Amino acid sequence: MVFENIDELIDAIKRVMIGEGEDVNLQDVEDFLVNLIERNRELTEKNKDPFVNEYLRYEKEALEKLLLTWRRYVMALLIKKENKVRLSSGERIEKVLKVMNSYLQVDGKTGILGIVKKEIPPFRGSDGVEYGPFSPGDIVLINRRDYTRLVERGLIDEVVFDI
């Protein structure tokens, strides 16, 4: 499904979230949002009007929050779909992710999931692995020591869902 405009995108997201979006390709939603953010960045670079740039800044923040929420939702859907974990209706998925994180591996070592809040340039982790660059909304799998350091610096968030 290709979206002609933001209204079609929002409609598709709503349908997916209420369980009526079987025709919606989840990756198409992500790609459309990423393209909107990129287009916003290009417009901001070209534009010199401070009022328009202020609007574009608000638009970018809203789009990045929507992308972040979408990625969190898709991750929750994938966990359910794979039937690796069964969730009761009131169970919070962060409990599941703690269990899931214990099975995730980064170069043979246990890793942990996080969602990037701010730009992170490439860096060598404490485990010697090259990570990054990361952009806001990226979902990362990283070793526990670097994860803790990045959370403390406010660069990534723990993956937390309410479903």
Instruction: Summarize pLDDT for 96-118 with one digit per residue, the tens.
Output: 454 455 444 444 555 677 788 88
Check whether the bond before 122 is cis (ω within 30° of 0): no
Query: pLDDT tens for residues 74-83?
Result: 766 665 554 3
pLDDT at 32 over 80: yes
Rounded to 5°, the CA angle 16-18-20 comes to: 60
Q: What is the pTM of this model?
A: 0.52
Q: Tell me which of 81 and 46 has the higher pLDDT.
A: 46
- The tokens 């079609």 sit on which residue? 8
Q: How many residues are listed for the chain in this entry? A: 163
Q: Which of 101, 112, 117 is nearest to 143 (CA)?
A: 112
DSSP class per residue in 34-62: HHHHHHHHHHHHH---HHHHHHHHHHHHH
Q: In this predicted structure, what is the pLDDT of residue 6?
A: 83
State how far the Cα of 143 lies from the Cα of 24, in Å rounded to an integer: 34
Q: Give residue 149's pLDDT.
A: 92
